[in-house]
Amino acid sequence: MRADRTTFHDSVLAVLAAVVSLSLFLTENVGRLEAQGLVVDGLRGPDSLGAFLVLSSCAPVAARRRWPLAGLCASLVPETLLAAFGYGYGLAGVGALVMLYSVAANRGLAAALGGLLVSLAVYSVGAAAGPVRTAHWSDHLMMAVVLVAVWGTGRSMRLRRAYLEELKDRAARLERAHAADTRAARAEERSRIARELHDVVAHHVSVMTVQAAAARKVLASDPDVAREALTAIEHTGRLAMSEMRDIVGVLRTDAGVELGPQPGVRDLPALVEQMTEAGLPARLSVEGEAVPLPAGVDLAAYRTVQEALTNSLRHAGPGAKAVVTVRHGRCELDVRVVDDGRGEAARPEEAGHGLVGIRERVALCGGILNIGPKSGGGFEVRARFPLKDGS
């Protein structure tokens, strides 16, 4: 549809150029030319051959976008013949000017320069060999300026179109990049939410499961101990619900909930005590002078210890103990969780979501994570987080 519309417009332009050129040809006479200061020597009057040549010079305008350079040459041939047969020069110039503009606007620089040189050469030949001459060199200079101006207008239009196309292409690239960034941000946000939910749910549910199993075993023989275990289960469940409510509150922008601070290294004593009450005797050792930690590192260290202790509670076996060591260095935070349980034999063959979450957290902080059984038995999880000097 666009090509048909363009062809129609070019055809209309060709008709208009033919009408203007033919009008100039039919109204050309010696008296008017001499009145303009031109020298006329043997000017041939209008006839059917001259009219045919004039119309032939304008016909290529109908295909000016498809074959601009060939059309320019086809338009210049009748113009040259008009001068050679004594009809004067400039009578068919309208079609040639339109074709010169089309070459400059639709072809590369080399083709456009070639079209300009050919047009100047044809004009020079017609001015020298035709029956109409001018005694002033400024007239020739003015015609050359007109040709160059038409050519320059076409080149400006081509550069403008190229600039607009570049802007459209750049806008499309930016839109694609923005869409890709949005998808990446959403994926990262989903991963972050999944890590938080897993850390909260898996830890508390594991503690509640162990305490429920202990309560079931002593329910008949020692009701007081069972009652304490059930109370601990209730407390752990309420704590889990509170943390999950905070996470969901972040997702709901209109929730209006009051959010508390995220857990960090300062909360490790309470975590160790909770694990001890759940059935995994644990001990916390802090080395070095504590310094303020970046929020991301602080949370990642806490979640690493939480996941490591939860896995020890689930897999280390009865009678196992755990030691949590936090070493504050000047440029590094070293967190280590070691248990003396059954080691690799008690761990699942495939890493669960918890270990994957730990790896992601440590990697986001630029840290190094080592997970595996110890040579003398037991299991070790160690994470080292880089710190800026003086942070």
CATH of the domain at 320: 3.30.565.10
Position with higher pLDDT, 130 vs 288: 288
- What pLDDT was estimated at residue 350? 46
Average pLDDT over residues 175-199: 76
Alpha helices in 219-291 (DSSP H): 223-251, 268-278
227 located within any domain: no
How many other C-beta atoms are found inside a 10 Å radius of the C-beta of residue 52?
12
Residue 6 has pLDDT above 60, yes or no: yes
148 located within any domain: no
Handedness of CA 33, 34, 39, 43 (dihedral sign): positive
Q: Which of 135, 165, 195 is the endpoint of a domain?
A: 135
362 located within any domain: yes
Q: Which of 135, 162, 193 is the endpoint of a domain?
A: 135
- Report the alpha-carbon distance of residue 289 to residue 328 in Å, rounded: 6
Look over the chain and give the mean of its residue pLDDT values, rounded to a whole number: 79
Closest CA to 218 of 203, 206, 230: 230
Position with higher pLDDT, 5 vs 49: 49
What SS3 state is found at 379?
A: strand
- Name the domain count of the chain: 2
How many other C-beta atoms are found inside a 10 Å radius of the C-beta of residue 34?
12
How many other C-beta atoms are found inside a 10 Å radius of the C-beta of residue 67?
16
11 located within any domain: yes
- Report the alpha-carbon distance of residue 389 to residue 387 in Å, rounded: 6
**What distances in angstroms separate CA 71 from CA 4, 78, 100, one per listed residue?**
19, 12, 9
Q: Which of 104, 135, 166 is the endpoint of a domain?
A: 135
What SS3 state is found at 154?
A: helix
Give how far the C-alpha of residue 311 lies from the chain's centroid of Cα atoms, to the nearest Å. 41
Lowest mean pLDDT among 73-77, 108-112, 217-221, 306-310: 217-221
352 located within any domain: yes
Interhelix angle for 137-218 vs 109-129, to 10°? 170
Q: Which of 152-156, 177-181, 311-315 has the highest mean pLDDT?
A: 152-156
What is the distance in angstroms between the CA of the first residue and the CA of the last residue of the chain? 66
Position with higher pLDDT, 122 vs 133: 122
- What pLDDT was estimated at residue 343? 63
> To which H or E segment does residue 4 belong?
helix 2-26
How many other C-beta atoms are found inside a 10 Å radius of the C-beta of residue 361?
25
Residues 6 or more apart whose CB falls under 8 angstroms from that of 72 comprise 60, 96, 99, 100, 102, 103, 115, 118, 119
- What pLDDT was estimated at residue 3? 60
- What pLDDT was estimated at residue 328? 92
Max alpha carbon distance in the chain (Å)? 136
Domain, as residue range, for 313 = 265-391
- Report the alpha-carbon distance of residue 119 to residue 134 in Å, rounded: 19
How many contiguous H segments (helices) and E segments (strands) does the chain have? Answer: 11, 7
Pull the structure tokens for residue 20.
């203007």
Exposure string of 247-286, with b = 16+ CB inside 10 Å and e = fewer, is: beeeeeeeeeeeeeeebbbeebeebbebbebbebebeeee
204 located within any domain: no
39 located within any domain: yes
**What distances in angstroms separate CA 226 from CA 222, 223, 319, one per listed residue?**
6, 5, 19
- Report the alpha-carbon distance of residue 391 to residue 387 in Å, rounded: 7
Interhelix angle for 109-129 vs 68-84, to 10°? 10
87 located within any domain: yes
**Per-residue model confidence as pLDDT tens digits over 238-279:** 777 777 776 666 565 554 545 556 788 998 999 898 888 888
Query: Does residue 236 come out as left (phi exceeding 0), alpha (psi in the -120 to 50 range) or beta?
Result: alpha
Percent of the chain's residues with pLDDT above 70: 77
Residue 289 has pLDDT above 50, yes or no: yes
**Per-residue model confidence as pLDDT tens digits over 80-130:** 887 777 776 555 578 888 888 888 988 888 888 888 888 888 877 766 666
Position with higher pLDDT, 167 vs 43: 167
